[in-house]
Structure 1
């Protein structure tokens, strides 16, 4: 939309109007600006002294709810793991800190970290059974965890006080709170919690824009695709549960020293439902949206106490309205979608130049991938029957055959998705048979899929950078803290991603979300992501399917470039003309068995191949 503005000359100049997109962009930039954040923090620290004690206490509840909501945002919004028992982690933090301070004489400054570590350890332990279930079963398992915790605190009278609760916890509301020798009232405690919340939000932003946050999103979208580029789904989910539990435990510990009384009813199922509603309405993935939602759901019930009995009916109506009208929540309405590479990394990478030739294996012996007599059975069905082949560096091998002949199953065996019933897969001198998919990727055997499995809301550049995940050596703590070493290393790999973007012809669309781009572009982006994982063997599963003639020409050139780099390439495709210009040899499967191995000209004359696969096409050829 544009608006006409008449200047003194009488000419009409078209200027962009202030539309919703421009407002979101401006608001996003304002909220993300460090000066605005510092000014807002200073205003809250200084302005709190002008508020009533009741308002300050409610504001403290808002901050605690914001931290609690971030724990759900991380686990569900980023990592895609549903939780209906988060009140358990909240309660672990609250009871642990409260008991240590009241009964054991700990200082709050020591008790809160212990509570956070205990909640994190509980989350890590819970991740093991959580890794074995999906969807509704995962929700039920986490709900069971919350119910078990509730029963423990209700029945463990000697420690938690049972149904009578745990009164007398040193708290700001009771004016009995002392931290490191300083007695704190409600205002002092609000300022402390505000600083803690600001630190949590800063670390959450850094985490989201780091290799850890991007890995969370990758397993959220597809654990199999994440594993294919070296992201281990199991340990990544364990980390997500541990960090989420730590955040919930921190919120619970702060809550305990705000109210001074802990009862089982504060950590029952309604608490888990409440924080989940806050997170969804705020917009999963949006940090600022979570803060606004926490403010809404904390102040509103306090101001409308007359409707307290109808509170959860109101929550249900608000949640339904949000899912129907604002599926991306408050954050999606007010702010632009978040990005997942730190601006400092982008600025530093802009000053670096990378040569795609660096993707060539350097100083390494040329090793072949060897498949020896691999058989894969599913019950009584033999999908692959005694297949043997060899992929050599600098050569392209085509794997063809009719649908259902076992091509993708063989690739799944080689890439670690399936463990073969019989046979071996060796890369050089190493036996990689039965290794998990991320371990195979770490051995530098990387694959793509029949359908591009990319993170939809990531840009092309962000998707490509996922390929470098296993190559980034800095720790999760360095990534979350944004340490210089982590910034420098990520910038180096981002510069290489820029080189791959140019190689794949994707530079012009590098900053566009992948779900807004055509199918052919997504195909090229997935191949580029696999290339950025620095493979020595690359398995391309029907990469030309659905591409236009021009797109196939661009893909063919990229495959030739990879061959020139010395990579061993396995190429599955049904387009014979596309293969004829590329491949050095052809392997043909039929009903899981190899029926031909040789050049493409010989394949077109082979009677078995003609009967099983080529048919009239061979006659016309």
Structure 2
């Protein structure tokens, strides 16, 4: 318990703005009394912090593995170095230009990278890093090739000036410190915004993210772009520290080094990256005798961290970070629970499935299926395992494009739209197993459902502008109302991974409600629930009906369905074999045969 209290105290200290400002101010003033060598090492630490944050954003938040990040680092370094030396561009312009060029490179890489996963993604990013390394080696006229690119304006060599003012090592450290502080503040704001939560959502499940309106492709493109910009910024600052650029500085070992720093620090933790970057910058400097064994040491440290400290240094010393701005939470109290999220317009359009066929090669999973789900009514979709129920839901929600047929919602043809565009059309679904972000609290998971309703820009989110905080606070007020409806208020601030299955199931339903759907598709929501939990779920579904939602309910619990549904559609082998009420379904020979076989039909007769 004492260890937990210590972690809590450290976490509150590190997160407090006064501590951060005091640390930055101390370094700004105190660097004047440090030796030149120490100031230079500290500058390397700051550059490593920025570089590590680029990996933290891409891998820790968005879950995209990168083994070629030295390429972005090198793009920033060479761009700023060449602009400053060969073209006389002031460093105040060359550094932002370098970050912008690296961002463009990241955006371009996101297109092929977005089409592959896991080991193939790692190989693709590795290929990007190797291509950059070979270009630098061979493009002699621009980069100097293997001979390197000397003479870059450098603080260490006292050849650097910014806006006409000479910059020495101490002044350059102060500039880099302010840039690093700004990066950390922006990263913290971004992580605790709709953008950061969206990155975590696609990390955990792109399908679940798409079901609430988060576009996986565009979100990953943003992650690569921002990550490339940060790496390019770090590279540009590095170039004007050392004054010489050679291909070896941007080879594979540089990518491995920054990846190790991020993993050991704790992916997803901003403070962990700072601690790890400091450790891995000072350690090689103090142990020069082991320089040739540096990467063997990195391998041992990484292995130890993955086995003993899977959450890195941050997981050992600090509590897990949270993903809602405290200021937005405080403003929620001003509004109080917002019941308007539970009030829908009466009537509205219906969800129509017309002669939908779905083929997978020679297998016909759906064969001219038609059904209609009316607003303010609950339609049950039942059938034996393998009858095509989940396939139909996947077709309606944009995961599969139907081989034939049409899907319309509120009079609009939505056939073949992507999953996030279906969610934007206000058709939302749940899954057979709850697909939540495990390390998010219940409140944070529910707020994910409101992603499409948050309209403020990424700049407003990164700067934590009042407009962004106000909008987020209003959605948090809606979260409070849904928490009350789903009876989750008592566990709102507990992480989902610590909660029982039934609570997680209800949290997923609550997240779907926060998306303000007009139609909701519930895929076996009662599976694995106790009787008390099913009663609570049934009441929530009745509340949805009262809101005027069109509800398609898939479940195997006939007793659960009997008291809820208005009509039933039965599938068998991808075909509709019954439409009507539930009492008629129980007497229908075709349904009995589908579930129990032809002998049961004769016995029933």
Q: Place the TM-score, normalised by the shorter chain, in its bin.
A: over 0.9
CA contact (8 A) 2:347 2:376 kept: no
The within-5 A match list for 1:464-483 is: 464-483=446-465
In the TM superposition, residue 261 of structure 1 has moved relative to its aligned partner by 0.2
The within-5 A match list for 1:316-331 is: 316-331=299-314
CA contact (8 A) 1:371 1:388 kept: yes
CA contact (8 A) 2:593 2:600 kept: no
**How large is the RMSD of aligned CA atoms in angstroms?**
1.4
In the TM superposition, residue 118 of structure 1 has moved relative to its aligned partner by 0.3
1:599 equivalent in alignment to 2:577: no
Q: Deviations over 1:232-287 (max 9, x none)?
A: 00000000000000000000000000000000000000000000000000000110
The within-5 A match list for 1:54-93 is: 54-93=37-76
Gaps of 5+ in 1: 2-18
Q: Deviations over 1:120-140 (max 9, x none)?
A: 000000000001100000000
Tell me the residue number matched to 1:180: 163
Which of 535, 541, 553 is 2:517 aligned to?
Answer: 535
The secondary structure found in structure 2 opposite 1:377 is strand
Rounded to whole Å, the distance in 1 between the matches of 2:341 and 2:312 is: 43
Which of 260, 269, 288 is 2:252 aligned to?
Answer: 269
Tell me the residue number matched to 2:408: 426
The secondary structure found in structure 1 opposite 2:348 is coil
In the TM superposition, residue 357 of structure 1 has moved relative to its aligned partner by 4.4
Tell me the residue number matched to 1:500: 482
In the TM superposition, residue 361 of structure 1 has moved relative to its aligned partner by 3.2
Tell me the residue number matched to 1:455: 437
The within-5 A match list for 1:16-165 is: 19-165=2-148
CA contact (8 A) 2:84 2:152 kept: yes
Tell me the residue number matched to 1:488: 470
CA contact (8 A) 2:186 2:463 kept: yes
Rounded to whole Å, the distance in 2 between the matches of 1:98 and 1:123 is: 20
Which of 218, 225, 228 is 2:211 aligned to?
Answer: 228
CA contact (8 A) 2:395 2:402 kept: yes
The secondary structure found in structure 2 opposite 1:21 is helix
1:443 equivalent in alignment to 2:428: no
Rounded to whole Å, the distance in 2 between the matches of 1:90 and 1:156 is: 17
Gaps of 5+ in 2: none
The secondary structure found in structure 1 opposite 2:452 is helix
Would you say how many aligned residue pairs link Structure 1 and Structure 2? Answer: 603
The secondary structure found in structure 2 opposite 1:245 is helix
Rounded to whole Å, the distance in 1 between the matches of 2:541 and 2:596 is: 24
Which of 512, 520, 545 is 2:527 aligned to?
Answer: 545
Rounded to whole Å, the distance in 2 between the matches of 1:150 and 1:400 is: 58
Tell me the residue number matched to 1:8: none
CA contact (8 A) 1:604 1:614 kept: no
CA contact (8 A) 1:357 1:565 kept: no
In the TM superposition, residue 354 of structure 1 has moved relative to its aligned partner by 3.6
The secondary structure found in structure 2 opposite 1:586 is strand
CA contact (8 A) 2:352 2:407 kept: yes
Rounded to whole Å, the distance in 2 between the matches of 1:245 and 1:317 is: 28
1:191 equivalent in alignment to 2:174: yes
The secondary structure found in structure 1 opposite 2:352 is strand
The secondary structure found in structure 1 opposite 2:190 is helix
Which of 514, 517, 525 is 2:499 aligned to?
Answer: 517
The secondary structure found in structure 2 opposite 1:226 is helix
1:210 equivalent in alignment to 2:213: no
In the TM superposition, residue 574 of structure 1 has moved relative to its aligned partner by 0.2
1:311 equivalent in alignment to 2:277: no
TM-score, structure 2 as length reference? 0.98
Flag the 1:365–1:178 CA change in 2: closer, same or farther, 3 A.
farther
In the TM superposition, residue 459 of structure 1 has moved relative to its aligned partner by 0.1
Tell me the residue number matched to 2:595: 613
The secondary structure found in structure 2 opposite 1:284 is coil
CA contact (8 A) 1:166 1:262 kept: yes
Tell me the residue number matched to 1:590: 572
Q: Deviations over 1:13-33 (max 9, x none)?
A: xxxxxx111000000001111
Tell me the residue number matched to 1:13: none
TM-score, structure 1 as length reference? 0.96
CA contact (8 A) 1:391 1:397 kept: yes
